[in-house]
Amino acid sequence: MDAISALAGGMLIGLAATLLLWLNGRVAGVSGILGGLLSGTRGDRGWRAAFLVGLVAASAPYLALAPAAPDLRSDFSRLGLVVAGLLVGFGARMGNGCTSGHGVCGLGRLSRRSFAAVLTFLLAAIATTFVVRHLMGVA
Amino acid sequence: MSGHAGLSGVTLSALASGALFGLGLAISGMTDARRVLGFLDVSGAFDPSLLYVLGGAAATTLLLFRGVLRRGRPLFADRFGLSDARQIDARLIGGAAIFGIGWGIAGYCPGPALAGLGVGSIEALWFVPAMLAGMTAHRLVERRMATAR
């Protein structure tokens, strides 16, 4: 059941990315869209804001109402969250993409850069999770 | 007149795409950082969900992007805004590594963190402002390096 909802959710994400490319010619990379909203030019901000509003507005009722929706974790170290947020924001902009831009869209275009980025951030994340959970003992 | 219609088409399609994206994130369970870390923690109780999500998404784009790109131009814009960068350089790998370290600490990447913000996840309220600060910090560093050059 979990595998089916994970696969179905993933296909919806892929369809969302296809829709944005087909209609607007844009890559559905969340960090790129958000980063462009922070730094971009005025005429370029409307569609970025609309995408992000849609993302938040559609996930909220599902997470709030669906019986199958997970209870979100709420007890992780605050310092850990801040450090993680800083690194994720900085790294995603520096590497020109995150899980959605390089992962969902880049792999679909068979981009060599995106393959390299996905491999790098997966390995870095796996190593980090090991260190944080098993060597530092943070759950 | 047509310019106005084009603008609203762009905005509405971005809204629809974002909504579908958010729904996909929520249904797949990726807003739950424990499941993400369950995949990344290969030595713990392994949870393969992330692989199914990423696999399902990438298989869909792999199947459909080709047909979209063959059309030559998108429906509401003059051209595709795709990066034509080819080089695998230190900036790409370094950025991806920094991103991966941050992802591995708490289990949040940008999409799920923003989705969490929508349901008032207390963790997202800490993570997202820090992420915006990280993005801003990168822009400032880049600007400084551009003027120093």
The complex's ipTM works out to 0.95
- Is A108 in contact with B61 (Cβ distance < 8 A)? yes
Q: Could you read off the pLDDT of A14-61 as tens digits, one per residue? A: 999 999 999 999 999 999 999 999 987 778 899 999 999 999 999 888
Instruction: Determine whether the interchain pair A14/B40 forms a contact, defined as Cβ–Cβ distance below 8 Å.
Output: no
Residue B1 confidence (pLDDT): 37
pLDDT confidence of residue B2: 41
| DSSP helix/strand/coil, B87 | coil
Model pLDDT, residue B3: 47
Give pairs for A60-65: CB < 8 Å, separation 24+: A60/B22, A60/B115, A60/B118, A60/B119, A62/B23, A62/B26, A62/B27, A63/B26, A63/B31, A63/B115, A63/B116, A63/B118, A63/B119, A64/B119
Which residues in chain B are closer than 8 Å to A117, comparing Cβ atoms? 92-93, 95-96
Quote the mean pLDDT of chain A: 93
- CB-based contact B143:A98 (threshold 8 Å): no
Find chain B residues with C-beta within 8 A of A88's C-beta: 99, 102-103, 108-110, 113, 127, 131, 134
Structure tokens of A120?
């790098």
* Angle at A61 (CA atoms; ends A25, A65), nearest 5 degrees: 145
Give the DSSP letter of residue A67.
T
User: Rounded to an integer, what distance in angstroms lies between the CA atom of residue A61 and that of residue A76?
Assistant: 24
Cβ contact B94–A94 (<8 Å): yes
Q: Alpha-carbon distance A102 to B119, whole Å?
A: 26
Instruction: Please check whether residue B33 is in contact with residue A81, taking contact to mean a CB–CB distance below 8 angstroms.
Output: no
Query: For residue A12, what pLDDT is reported?
Result: 97
- B45 Cα to chain A: minimum distance (Å): 12
The pLDDT score that the predictor gives to residue B7 is 56
Q: Answer left, alpha or beta for residue A125, where phi above 0 means left and psi between -120 and 50 means alpha.
A: alpha
Tokens describing residue B127: 């993570």
- pLDDT of the residue at A119: 98
Q: What burial class does residue B82 get, using C-beta atoms within 10 Å of its C-beta: 0-12 exposed, 13-18 middle, 19+ buried?
A: middle
Residue segments in chain B with a per-residue pLDDT below the cut of 70: 1-7
pLDDT at B84: 85
What local confidence, expressed as pLDDT, does residue A113 receive?
97
Q: What are the tens digits of pLDDT across the range B102-144?
A: 999 999 999 999 999 888 899 999 999 999 999 999 999 999 9
Sequence-distant (≥ 6) Cβ neighbours of residue B91 within 8 angstroms: A94, A95
User: Under the phi-then-psi rule, with left for phi > 0, alpha for psi from -120 to 50, and beta for the rest, what region is B136?
Assistant: alpha
Mean per-residue pLDDT for A85-90?
A: 98
